[in-house]
Chains A and B, each alone.
Chain A
């Protein structure tokens, strides 16, 4: 580096030489230059005086708690808004899904009725026999307490939108897929830690409009 450019660079670096934040290589460059440059030495001395004066006139800072207490309500309000927004998102998910579910259920019902009319048979249960025999049994199933798990939920047919919505809100669940040919939906739920998997299934079966519930897809 040329002597002039070294001088200019060192001159600019001097404030950080005085606050001792330069890296070793730069510090060495400044120190070497200071030994031979009177102008930079004078500047360094002046900067040290400015620094000393500036530090001497430190501002008085009050206790943090007074200001902190003013911020707390704002934080609590934000947290509340966040929780409400999360709740609304869940509702929106359900609301968005319901028309589709309603149409699908109506179509299925219509197809079923046409089939019955054409074949001239007595109406068959929507839930298959094999499934229906499991209805409200106390069979031990794989438990996934406290984790997100999937539950197959069969509603009374035809399912009412309001019934389904209520069930989903009550269980804080999301619909993953469905309905299948038996009117079963797969939902994702979190089993409360205080309940076993079977207890939770029993509680689901007690929800109005729910005909059947079992763990897994």
Chain B
């Protein structure tokens, strides 16, 4: 039988228990609790969407779209996953939809093509880039779903079962997406290592 959010209890640790307590209050339209939940989730969601979408200008809007759904649908949370997993799943869908909308706009398609050319150019200059650029470049070269798996694994520390919950796909799909992402990222790693070791040598020379 379907349980009401107010009947749910959590035994998955302090963080999830606090998130659930706040979500229960949000379900009865408590704005103070909503602001607290917003403040708790904002850094994680911003970071995730920023890496997923590669469009910093759209992150804030999608974070707000996500948390607006949380405000509207809090009472529908059924406790089948952690609160943060449920909300990250909403963020993933909102992020994908926002990018789809963007692709439908002709002027954006032209811009995307231009960006793709830039990426191609960048990949030839990898040894001149810093870590941030390397990560940015590497993440740009994998698909959005692969990017989501990488982000959720390495940044957010989710298990593959939780990632499957977030992305609403089988666990084997998660493992396969990660497998392909690893192969693409691995090709960039030797270049990075050359770059970083060269950087370290230069720094040492400076110190000496």
Contact = CB atoms under 8 A, between A and B. Distances in A.
Interface of A: 11-13, 15-16, 19-22, 46-47, 49-51, 53-59, 61-62, 64-65, 67-68, 70-71, 74-75, 78-79
4 closest A-B pairs by beta carbon, nearest first, are A21-B159, A64-B42, A12-B175, A61-B43
B38 A68 contact: yes
B202 interface: no
Given A15-B182, A19-B157, A68 B131 contact: no
Contact of A47 (B31, B35, B182): B182
Given A12-B179, A53-B131, A54-B135, A21 B157 contact: yes
Contacts of A54: 135, 150, 154-155
Contact of A61 (B42, B157, B158, B192): B42
Contacts of B131: 53, 56-57
B194 interface: no
A27 B158 CA distance: 15
B159 A46 contact: no
Interface stretch (B4-12, B64-72, B77-85, B104-112): B64-72
Contacts of B87: none
B56 to A, nearest CB: 9
Interface size class of B (residues with CB under 8 A): 35 or more
B51 interface: yes
Contact of B71 (A50, A65, A70, A75): A75
Given A67-B60, A68-B39, A59 B51 contact: yes
B175 A71 contact: no
Interface of B: 29, 31, 34-35, 38-39, 42-43, 46-47, 50-51, 60, 63-64, 67-68, 71-72, 131-132, 134-135, 150, 153-155, 157-160, 162, 175-176, 178-179, 182, 185-186, 189, 192-193
Contact of B68 (A56, A61, A75): A75
Given A46-B186, A64-B38, A57 B71 contact: no
Nearest to B44: A61
A136 B102 CA distance: 68
Contacts of A59: 46-47, 50-51
A19 B174 CA distance: 15
Most chain-A CB neighbours within 10 Å: which of B63, B68, B154, B175?
Answer: B154
23 contacts: A13-B160, A15-B153, A15-B178, A16-B159, A19-B154, A20-B157, A21-B160, A53-B131, A54-B150, A54-B154, A54-B155, A55-B154, A55-B155, A57-B132, A59-B51, A61-B42, A61-B47, A62-B46, A64-B38, A64-B39, A68-B35, A68-B39, A70-B64
B189 A50 contact: yes
Nearest to A11: B179
Given A53-B134, A64-B38, A68-B39, 16 more contacts: A16-B153, A16-B160, A19-B153, A21-B159, A22-B159, A50-B154, A51-B154, A53-B135, A54-B155, A67-B42, A67-B60, A70-B60, A71-B68, A74-B64, A75-B31, A78-B72
Nearest to A14: B182
Contacts of A78: 68, 71-72
Most chain-B CB neighbours within 10 Å: which of A51, A53, A61, A75?
Answer: A53
A197 B158 CA distance: 57
A71 B64 contact: yes
A42 B84 CA distance: 33
A57 B160 contact: no
Contacts of B72: 78
A21 B158 contact: yes
Most chain-A CB neighbours within 10 Å: which of B68, B131, B182?
Answer: B182
